[in-house]
Homo-oligomer: A and B are copies of this chain.
Amino acid sequence: MPLKKPHSGLQNGDAGHEKDSRHFGNGSQQQNLDLNDHEGEHDLPGVLEVNNDSPVVNGIGTSLTNGGLNLHSTVKRKLDGEKDYVFDKRLRYSVRQNESNCRFRDIVVRKEDGFTHILLSSQTSDNNALTPEIMKEVRRALCNASADDSKLLLLSAVGSVFCSGLDYSYLIGRLSNDRRKESTRIAEAIRDFVKAFIQFKKPIVVAINGPALGLGASILPLCDIVWASEKAWFQTPYATIRLTPAGCSSYTFPQILGVALANEMLFCGRKLTAQEACSRGLVSQVFWPTTFSQEVMLRVKEMASCSAVVLEESKCLVRSFLKSGLEDVNEKECQMLKQLWSSSKGLDSLFSYLQDKIYEV
């Protein structure tokens, strides 16, 4: 059952502004931006479930990677009546030109009918690993989505991996350079990234197409609905790689999975299959890989037909009792990581572990 193609637009060129960008330019950049928008994806599932073996999906995958954006210039954008809905001009054109010129490089943002779709599609790291720069892009996209007229957020990934967590080669590189400064910078990037999820007021749906590791798994309980492909699996081997938990997992994992399983994940790197994660409460439902993206889209569109007020207020009710607690946990976790990274002992331990891994490979 193919999904109806929505009138959508890649938001790759927008953003670049934080909440204070309330002044708008004259639209002179519009054409430019439009050239960079690509809407030729015939097959929405591919967006979620990029499979490099399939030529069709591969094409979409390419279109979604920012480097390949111009390949689809033959595909014309349909300028119909819903255009204003799809493109929020107020957000698109900020007077702060230097910021608005800044594109999303490692994520793709699509404005769909009633919801925003953020896809992890990292160009600067492998397997959608997170760097402070990528986390900042996600934050900016969340910030935009919180201010626009979308009713909810869909988060997914391009490629076969959802998110492999912190980028450890980046981590090692930076921390070896300037331990004191970089430990603070990276810990704060994590803190702000996680905080953006805690504070996001619209429902967040996550579609997990493949492995979700470390921070990529830890943030799932900060999202509202988690749908996973049968191919997905989950692992947070913090202690194994000589780190303390992040992403509020020290609080949310015991809450959801029970202390016994949560600690096995945090201390021993216990890996959960999609089915296990579902039966233990981390995942809402598991779908068959081949129809995964259709199932997700169908449900997200159904949700997006709800009243915006009801969605936001329901989330507010569900989250209000957790929010301040989660913010505290996040602060503590990041404080702990900073301490660990700025101590030579903590760093040595991390380095020796990660270097062993590199030699093993």
Q: How far is the CB of A167 from chain B (nearest CB, A)?
A: 20
A75 to chain B: which residues have CB within 8 Å?
Answer: none
Number of copies: 3
Q: How far is the CB of A2 from chain B (nearest CB, A)?
A: 21
Contact for A244 among B268, B317, B322, B332, CB less than 8 A: B317
**Is A361 in contact with chain B by the CB < 8 A criterion?**
no
Contact for A320 among B317, B318, B332, CB less than 8 A: B332
Is there contact, CB below 8 Å, between B307 and A225?
A: no
A59 to chain B: which residues have CB within 8 Å?
Answer: none
Q: How far is the CB of A269 from chain B (nearest CB, A)?
A: 9
Q: How many residues of A contact B (CB 8 A)?
A: 64
**Is A70 in contact with chain B by the CB < 8 A criterion?**
no
Determine the main DSSP class of A at the interface with B.
helix
Is there contact, CB below 8 Å, between B284 and A313?
A: no
A279 to chain B: which residues have CB within 8 Å?
Answer: 279-280
Alpha-carbon distance A239/B250, docked complex (angstroms) = 30
Question: Which residues of chain A in 272-289 are interfacial with respect to chain B, using CB atoms and an 8 Å cutoff?
Answer: 279-285
Is there contact, CB below 8 Å, between B225 and A260?
A: yes
Alpha-carbon distance A254/B326, docked complex (angstroms) = 15
Contact for A345 among B284, B309, B325, CB less than 8 A: B309
Not counting A251-B317, A270-B284, a sample of 17 additional A-B residue pairs whose C-beta atoms are within 8 angstroms of each other reads: A224-B259, A225-B264, A225-B268, A226-B260, A239-B310, A242-B306, A244-B317, A250-B314, A250-B318, A256-B259, A258-B281, A258-B282, A261-B281, A267-B311, A307-B346, A309-B346, A313-B340
